[in-house]
């Protein structure tokens, strides 16, 4: 048991271990920060429209991936657990898209 504690202590004293902690925590943080800054830049400089909405949607999906993959540690899990989480989310997104399309159709029909 003491050998395990000693190895654990050596891991914390190893400078390479610090680098891996930096990569696991701070690199995703800075990527998310940059994506958020890009969203703010787009929000204040780009005119409203479908292109802006699609850019926001794409950036939101990328940010959601980074949050789930790194901060919720899903990137390091087995494929079955990842699929148990990703597939229902994909179906919910598909449902939302279909409801938005159907709602737009109904809105157009009422206004005619």
What pLDDT, on the 0 to 100 scale, is given for residue 94? 92
Give dist(CA 79, CA 53) in Å, integer. 31
Clarify whether residues 67 and 104 are in a common domain: no
DSSP-derived secondary structure letter, 49: S
Query: How far apart, in whole angstroms, are the C-alpha atoms of residue 58 and residue 65?
Result: 11
Residue 90 sits in which domain range? 78-112
Q: What is the CA radius of gyration of the chain?
A: 21
Does residue 7 register a pLDDT over 80? Answer: no
For residues 62 and 86, membership in a common domain is answered with no
Residues 85, 68 share a domain: no
Length of the chain: 112
Does residue 5 surpass a pLDDT of 60? no
| 59/40 Cα distance (integer angstroms) | 11
Q: Is 31 helix (H, G, I), strand (E, B) or coil?
A: helix
- How many structural domains are present in the chain? 2
Distance, in Å, from the CA atom of 92 to the CA atom of 80, rounded to the nearest integer, reads 19
pLDDT, tens digit, for every residue of 21-78?
777 788 888 989 999 999 999 999 989 888 898 999 889 988 988 887 777 766 666 7
71 & 99 share domain: no
């Amino acid at each position: 048991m003491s050998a395990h504690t000693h190895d654990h202590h050596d891991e914390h004293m190893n400078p390479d271990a610090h680098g891996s902690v930096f990569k696991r925590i701070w690199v995703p943080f800075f990527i998310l920060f940059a994506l958020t800054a890009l969203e703010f830049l787009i929000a204040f400089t780009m005119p409203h429209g479908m292109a802006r909405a699609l850019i926001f949607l794409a950036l939101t999906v990328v940010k959601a991936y980074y949050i789930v993959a790194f901060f919720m540690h899903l990137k390091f899990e087995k494929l079955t657990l990842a699929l148990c989480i990703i597939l229902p989310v994909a179906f919910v997104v598909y449902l939302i898209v279909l409801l938005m399309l159907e709602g737009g159709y109904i809105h157009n029909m009422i206004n005619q």
